[in-house]
Structure 1
Amino acid sequence: MVARAAAISLALMPGLAMADKVKITDIAGREVEVNVPVNRVILGEGRQIYFTAALDTDAPFKRVVGWRDDFKKADLDGYNIYLQKFPDMEKIPTFGGMKDGTFDIEQAVALKPDVIIMNTEAKSATEESGYIEKLARVGIPLVYIDFREKPMQNTDASMRIIGTLFGKEDRAEEFVKFRQAEIAKVTDTLAKAGDIRKPVVFMERAGGYSDDCCMSFGNENFGAMVELAGGVNLAKDIIPGTFGTVNPEQIIASNPDQIIVTGSNWELYVPGGKWVGVGPGANQEEARTKLAALMQRPGFTGVKGVTEGNVHAIWHQFYNSPYQFVAVQQIAKWLHPDLFKDLDPDATFRELHERFLPVTYHPGYFASLNSGS
């Protein structure tokens, strides 16, 4: 598939850093002409700051002239950490989303961006609305990247595309090599271990966000992370795509060995909700209390993972950022504690912050009902 290769075709290789026009094949397989390096960028999602910060570490907002309004709502703790260091970020104009039809194209045009970066999940809505053609008429290119639909497949290519857009190819490659090396710490160890028992894992997406049970992941995103970490994703044969739902009866019948719930500080989405607020600086005692409460729901009654205490919470935003390799390490450590006793995902995430990000690392991204995990 073209998206897998996500090749970057450069129209003018010599002097790339001198604002040349290049052709980029984006994650959707579209060939897009862009003048690079770009200086004015609209982020189709506020959480795209996760990759912007990894490339423009000293000034992560210097190119951002507009962004979607989800960062504060979806990751309040992370937002406040960035806000403390970069208070002017609150002045950046915000947009609604393409998918919900609240994106203001006239506002976008008025900001005169060099490029708009969108997630592939918004592709259908973008095409149906005719936004690409409307933007093309005023000379604004739109480029698709992906850290959410098929992140294990598209993260490296997405980082390289953004590196080309920003004129930060070397920095992007450094990040990619770091990511690959950290994933190899898991995959190489599993390969050497040979034929080992792989525990069945139920990944619950945003447990407690609503009263419904239970959203999960198919063969991609956290589902793929579980498999990469040496587990069997319970929902892989139930959910045909990346996201879907598993009913409580299926969970009980499958009797998973381990349960992992994704969570974040969603106080602005669901005030006082039952969600597990793991993330930067999270209160671990509160996270464990809320995680234990979620296990009282009918779908988890008597399940092996619950009775044996192998219940965990992990930061939801790993599912939509280039940092998901940290999640792979933590899941591997939960599933195979003896095999990965020397692996330290917290130290990995701390190193990521120290090498690539402008903010200080604050632990709190993981919680477990098993005190030994």
Structure 2
Amino acid sequence: MIVGLTDGTIQSTSYFPEFGDVTSIGSSFDSIDVEMVVMLNPDIVFIHPTTRGVGTTQVVKKLEAAGITVYCSRTNIPMTYAEEIQKLGYILGKRDEADEFINFYEGFLNSIVEKVDDIPEDDKPKVYSEYSSYAIGSKDEYPVTLAGGKCIFAGLPSGDVDPEAVATSNPDVIVCIVADEADARAAGDTATLVEARTEMMGRPMLQNVAAVTNEEVYVITSPFWPYLPHSGCRHFIGVGYLAKWFHPELFGDLDPEAIHQEYLTEFQGLDYDLNEQGAFVYPPLDES
């Protein structure tokens, strides 16, 4: 039984309707109320290892001093994601379920990798990806490379956007990542995503960039992107959308939305119909 959650999870009623009455332990992972957690006296606390507001080390020390078991779990890093799921399955006594999900997860990604491996390097598009006002660098090599693209800032750290550097690199594709309550929106409610795309395509320095002139500018919401605070378990679905955008002919039969629906229904146990709810990417695949 879950006895405490941060407000962000409690308020995600479209995704976690059963948690509406659970006690709040803070506004977000940035500001955990340690005293409240101790008062709830849970058997175990799962915590993100970068709880910046109080500091993970201080939080863990206080909880362990109160006799509470703490497990730091980070599920927004693709390279260790399957291992984290295995560990969680073991801790929660759900090893079979964890293995079933890992098979689903790895099977989907492998179906993409098998095709990408045969793409000549010259046929892979140069990709620029941006989150908020930051140009994302080396961390984006994973989703972009996996989907058959080449990150223009590969090997570099994320940082403030340098419009001239982007223009000089002349990306073939631009991916805008936006933090949005995508799950809570009605299907087709893409106003926020349209705004992000319009802003990107209207930047003066990018008017001669291939991605803009060819309208290869796409918007994806943060649940589908790894490493970000609100990302994690669904990053593999984002890779599917990237593959469709980068190589539409090669991945003509790939259906990321169907994979997303299967994930929600089979592995999250949600009564959530993507035909009626959720706006995660723009343009929609049938308009791309």
TM-score (norm 1): 0.67
Taking a change above 3 Å as real, the CA distance of residues 308 and 167 of structure 1, as seen in their structure-2 partners, is: same
The alignment status of 1:366 with 2:284, answered yes or no, reads: no
1:219 corresponds to which residue? 138
Q: Distance in 2 between matches of 1:97 and 1:161?
A: 27
1:176 Cα deviation after fit: 0.7
How do 1:132-281 residues align onto structure 2 when only pairs under 5 Å count?
A: 132-148=60-76, 151-206=77-132, 214-220=133-139, 222-239=140-157, 243-265=158-180, 281=186
1:227 Cα deviation after fit: 1.0
For residues 27-80 of structure 1, the C-alpha deviation after alignment (integer angstroms, 9 at most, x for no partner) is xxxxxxxxxxxxxxxxxxxxxxxxxxxxxxxxxxxx22111222367xxxxx24
Q: Distance in 2 between matches of 1:181 and 1:263?
A: 27
For residues 261-314 of structure 1, the C-alpha deviation after alignment (integer angstroms, 9 at most, x for no partner) is 112435xxxxxxxxxx68753435523354223321344332210110101111
**Alignment equivalent of 2:35, drawn from 106, 109, 113:** 106
TM-score (norm 2): 0.86
Aligned partner of 1:263: which letter? V
2:228 corresponds to which residue? none
Aligned partner of 2:91: which letter? L
Aligned partner of 1:292: which letter? T
Residues 15 and 183, structure 2, Cα contact 8 Å, conserved in 1: no
Q: Distance in 2 between matches of 1:299 and 1:114?
A: 55
SS at match of 1:71: helix
The alignment status of 1:69 with 2:7, answered yes or no, reads: yes
Residues 49 and 56, structure 2, Cα contact 8 Å, conserved in 1: no
Taking a change above 3 Å as real, the CA distance of residues 295 and 195 of structure 1, as seen in their structure-2 partners, is: closer
Aligned partner of 1:94: which letter? S
**Alignment equivalent of 1:93, drawn from 9, 12, 23:** 23
1:295 corresponds to which residue? 201
Q: Distance in 1 between matches of 2:236 and 2:78?
A: 9
SS at match of 1:349: helix
SS at match of 1:327: helix
How do 1:110-125 residues align onto structure 2 when only pairs under 5 Å count?
A: 110-122=39-51, 125=55
For structure 2, the 5+ residue unaligned runs are 226-230
Taking a change above 3 Å as real, the CA distance of residues 202 and 369 of structure 1, as seen in their structure-2 partners, is: farther
Task: Name the count of aligned residue pairs.
Answer: 277
Q: Distance in 1 between matches of 2:113 and 2:189?
A: 29
1:346 Cα deviation after fit: 0.8
Q: Distance in 2 between matches of 1:306 and 1:110?
A: 54
Taking a change above 3 Å as real, the CA distance of residues 350 and 112 of structure 1, as seen in their structure-2 partners, is: same
SS at match of 2:14: helix
For structure 1, the 5+ residue unaligned runs are 1-62, 74-78, 207-213, 267-276
Residues 259 and 311, structure 1, Cα contact 8 Å, conserved in 2: yes
SS at match of 1:305: helix
Residues 148 and 246, structure 2, Cα contact 8 Å, conserved in 1: yes
Q: Distance in 1 between matches of 2:256 and 2:207?
A: 30
